Structure 1
Amino acid sequence: MTGELAPVATTGAARGREAASPFGKSAVLAMLVVGFAAFVAMLYFIGTGDTGGNRGTGPAHASSNAIHGYAGLSQLLEANGYDVEKSREQSGLETSGLLVLTPTQNTDPDEFAAILEERQYQGPTLVILPKWFAIRPSGKIAEEDEDQVQDDWVQLVSSNLPGWTQDLPEPYTLETAMDPDASGATPSWGGLGLSGNLPAPTPLYAENSPNHEALVIDDKGRPLAVNVVGQPDTYFYEDAHFLTVVIEPDLLNNYGLADPTRAALALAIVEQAGYEDKQVTFDLTLVGLGGSTNLLTLAFRPPFLAATICLILAMLIVGWRAFLRFGPVAAQSQEARFGKAQLVTNGAGLIVRARRLRLLADPYVALIERKLGNALGLAKPDATTIDQALEQRLPDEEPFSNRVARLQNATKPSEVMRAAQSLSELASKTTGKSRR
């Protein structure tokens, strides 16, 4: 073919040939799903501050599965329809629902009293006093028992009095004491329409006080749980929110909830302490598990949660597209042919798509001027000289300058085409006239 290069021949086998992939689609999809889920989980747990570690030893709190912790109480409340939250921020102390505080043996009485005084105006509070000192299990574990020992198991070493409670201001002051039974028998308890036995023979109780109303007592009439009511005719007595203090933590901890009767008592205490409100917040800041707000934490909270969800969906779409595109590209036939004609066609198509037809006016006028100049024998053809020459050669034709002006002023594609066609016809007539 003259003036053109023949297109490259491609066979059907070449177009469909595709190298074998080392991975199947199922394997790639599984890797994408598992990796994406692990990445999102990592971001979430870093944002919430839950990065693992040993949660058994140390002070008792709502995330502890140890025998002296309160994870069982949290799960018990959730199972009974309560909306439970574990707060790692100071803002959690300002909830209007029931706030559960689990102070430690080293709690500062002034700081704790300030929290209780603020709670008078904010909402009900349930305080569970500390008692046990726990450590990791000591000694060698028998080989047949190793599979049964869990990471959060602890050993209760001793029980201690929270001495700081006697330094609290009135009406919060509590004189606590411990009187283990010499015979080793577990003392009984009663209150809120229930009764039973404690799990350990070392009950922690409080001395009777006119500021307190006993909810649960032991077999000797000593308070194990009280409502702080204050003195009559005082603001605290008349208007302050409820404050319930559980002196004996074995009534509510994992150790105590092993017994169904004590579990029922725990629900009764929470119900009366929170005015039957189903919103319960467990504070974790008093035991040193508080954390400052970071960007990851904010990403999973409104109003930024919406943007995070959109970002996750975008990542899923990108991952899905990558999964569908996985593997080597199949050989395809040539999309653009070689040759001058194809080059002109492609260039014209580009100009039409870009809507830049007006840029063709001046080059096309220059092209027609050269053709007319050659046909008319003009050394330096321009619009004026061409008009003068055409007036003698083709007196009935429209002047060249008028046609040029019409092309240069055209704005619509149809106008450009008509003006260009007029110049082309003039050039054809002039060339034909010259040959004759």
Structure 2
Amino acid sequence: MNAAAITPARPAAFSKAGALALVGGGFLLFLAMLWLIGSGAELGGSGNRGEGHAAANGLNGYSGLVRLVEAQGYAVERSRSRAGLATNGLLVLAPPHAADADAVADILTSRVYQGPTLLIVPKWQASAPGQNMSPEARGAFKRGWVTLEGTLPARWAEDLPAPYTFTHTPYPKDAVEVAQGAISAPLVPAPPQSRWRGMGRAGKLPTPAMTFAVRDPGQAQQPLITDPDGRVLAFSVTPQQGGKADPDAYPVIVLAEPDLANNYGLADPARAAAAIALVDALTDDGEIEEVTFDMTMNGFGASENLLTLAFRPPFLAATLSLLAALLIVGWRAFLRFGPAAAPAGPDIAFGKRQLITNGAGLILRARRFGLLGRPYAALAARRIADRLGLARAEAAAIDSALARRLPQEEPFTARAARLEAARTPADLVAAARNLDDLATRLTERPR
């Protein structure tokens, strides 16, 4: 046997603990990436860029309304998916000025028998702090704060279908100048703040600039909040069937004056109470427990993809099972291999052993044990003849020489005949050992 020298390989660059930490950390980061892609989370910022939506912290935003509704015990969700529009709970819509009237109409009509809706119409033109502001003024602004540049009615309200259509109108007509403070010049008295009343409450709006709804007289629109002159700031719409209110239809409340619900308006307790009263009216005083604030109409929609579905029931169970299987496979692969070893040369003996093993396995599988006796007897005859000093491995010559050398031993021919006649593995092994014992005794020195 040519034993091959085995030399240890170089020490590993990382210890077992270090390799496990690298693999585990990379796996966790990969899972985090999958989750972020699947959930549609934003990595580019908070979205506070002057828009009026449920995540905006500016005066025209509705993050305060989200927190206020949540504090009332409602289950609140900010939805960035179109699937959130199909909620059976209260849906709060706050479309921007550039919204598509058809898109708003599709949502309102699709929810007639699905759930109540609160439609907040935009009013303010807002932007982030400009570069022309002094450093002191810019330093006072917090993240997400905006500057109000004036009011602008929502033109898409006129294009809504019946019974939701109305005309969004500013008051006074020069409301842009009122909002910017141009009317409050020293020689011109500042207009008084607009007042409101409704839902069992009353108060003042934060600025003289106001927007209201001019309703269609032929539509089923019920005023809820007005100013002292009868201008409608909020009204409810109940779809009709056959000229009568449909009892199975869910109501819609349109808030034409958003200062009753945005961050600017919620600074006043009376206006905050009115906003909650509108929510309670749509949820039947808490009978509906879920409130969804839609953000897809403000440009925060996330499209559905396979990763999104993989992290939602019922596919979440399969995803977790697959991840567990990957962890088990990785752990087994990590523990399977011991220290690396590099052979110094070819292992010839291993090839011989493998050849013998394969041949023995073939005979064992074919169960042709009778074929082993005669070849092994011939091999034993050559070995014994060599030890007796004979030129040829003939059975008669071996018996004659063996009788002279070891007269008390059984003749070779009898042993070989017993081996050739064997048919079971046990008989073959016993007969082969008998021949091997004879060859061993011929190598022993006489005592």
Q: TM-score, normalised by structure 1?
A: 0.70
3-state DSSP of counterpart to 2:111: helix
The Cα shift of 1:131 comes to 0.9
Choose from 226, 250, 271 the match for 2:259.
Answer: 250
Distance 2:53 2:278 in 1: 18
Contact in 2 for aligned 1:55/1:65 (Cα 8 Å): no
Distance 1:44 1:259 in 2: 40
Choose from 176, 187, 191 the match for 2:194.
Answer: 187
Unpaired runs of 5+ in structure 1?
9-13, 381-390, 408-417
Q: What pairs with 1:417-432 in structure 2 (closer than 5 Å)?
A: 418-428=426-436, 431=439
The Cα shift of 1:236 comes to 4.8
Distance 1:248 1:230 in 2: 22
Larger CA Rg, structure 1 vs 2: 2
Distance 2:118 2:275 in 1: 11
Contact in 1 for aligned 2:226/2:232 (Cα 8 Å): yes
Tell me the amino acid that sits aligned with residue 92 of structure 1.
G
Choose from 206, 210, 218 the match for 2:227.
Answer: 218
After superposing the two structures, state which structure 1 stretch, 86-95 or 112-121, moved more.
86-95
Task: Provide Cα deviations, 1:67-86, integer angstroms capped at 9, x if missing partner.
Answer: 21222222332333322233
After superposing the two structures, state which structure 1 stretch, 32-41 or 155-164, moved more.
32-41
Choose from 43, 59, 63 the match for 1:67.
Answer: 59
Contact in 2 for aligned 1:120/1:236 (Cα 8 Å): no
> What's the counterpart of residue 386 of structure 1?
none
Distance 1:259 1:368 in 2: 112
Inter-CA distance 4–56: structure 2 relative to 1 (3 Å threshold): closer
Q: Is residue 206 of structure 2 the alignment partner of residue 199 of structure 1?
A: yes
Task: Provide Cα deviations, 1:171-215, integer angstroms capped at 9, x if missing partner.
Answer: 112133221487333222232233332222212112354621222
Unpaired runs of 5+ in structure 2?
173-177, 184-189, 386-391, 396-409
> What's the counterpart of residue 279 of structure 2?
270
Q: What percent of counterpart residues are identical?
A: 37
Tell me the amino acid that sits aligned with residue 115 of structure 1.
I
3-state DSSP of counterpart to 1:399: helix
Q: What pairs with 1:28-427 in structure 2 (closer than 5 Å)?
A: 40-49=31-40, 50-53=42-45, 55-57=47-49, 59-140=51-132, 142-143=134-135, 148-180=140-172, 183-207=190-214, 209=217, 211-230=220-239, 233-234=242-243, 236-275=245-284, 276=286, 277-310=288-321, 358=364, 366-372=375-381, 374-375=383-384, 378=393, 399-403=418-422, 405-407=423-425, 418-427=426-435
Distance 2:322 2:262 in 1: 41
3-state DSSP of counterpart to 1:133: strand
Contact in 1 for aligned 2:82/2:296 (Cα 8 Å): yes
Contact in 1 for aligned 2:112/2:239 (Cα 8 Å): no
Tell me the amino acid that sits aligned with residue 151 of structure 2.
S
Inter-CA distance 365–228: structure 2 relative to 1 (3 Å threshold): farther
Distance 1:139 1:434 in 2: 111
Inter-CA distance 42–69: structure 2 relative to 1 (3 Å threshold): farther
Tell me the amino acid that sits aligned with residue 114 of structure 1.
D
Inter-CA distance 188–294: structure 2 relative to 1 (3 Å threshold): same
Task: Provide Cα deviations, 1:273-328, integer angstroms capped at 9, x if missing partner.
Answer: 1333111222222223223212332332223333444565677789999999xxxx
> What value does the CA root-mean-square deviation take over the aligned residues?
4.9
Contact in 1 for aligned 2:415/2:434 (Cα 8 Å): no
3-state DSSP of counterpart to 1:250: helix
Tell me the amino acid that sits aligned with residue 61 of structure 1.
H
Q: TM-score, normalised by structure 2?
A: 0.69
Distance 1:318 1:216 in 2: 64
Tell me the amino acid that sits aligned with residue 73 of structure 1.
L
Inter-CA distance 166–397: structure 2 relative to 1 (3 Å threshold): closer
The Cα shift of 1:148 comes to 4.7
Distance 1:82 1:252 in 2: 17
Inter-CA distance 191–147: structure 2 relative to 1 (3 Å threshold): same
Distance 1:48 1:99 in 2: 20
3-state DSSP of counterpart to 1:175: strand
Tell me the amino acid that sits aligned with residue 44 of structure 1.
W
The Cα shift of 1:160 comes to 1.0
3-state DSSP of counterpart to 1:201: coil
The Cα shift of 1:364 comes to 8.9
The Cα shift of 1:394 comes to 5.5
Tell me the amino acid that sits aligned with residue 422 of structure 1.
A
Tell me the amino acid that sits aligned with residue 69 of structure 2.
L
After superposing the two structures, state which structure 1 stretch, 315-324 or 199-208, moved more.
315-324
Tell me the amino acid that sits aligned with residue 245 of structure 1.
V
Contact in 2 for aligned 1:179/1:202 (Cα 8 Å): yes
The Cα shift of 1:227 comes to 1.0
Distance 1:432 1:304 in 2: 73
Distance 2:81 2:131 in 1: 38
State the number of aligned residues.
392
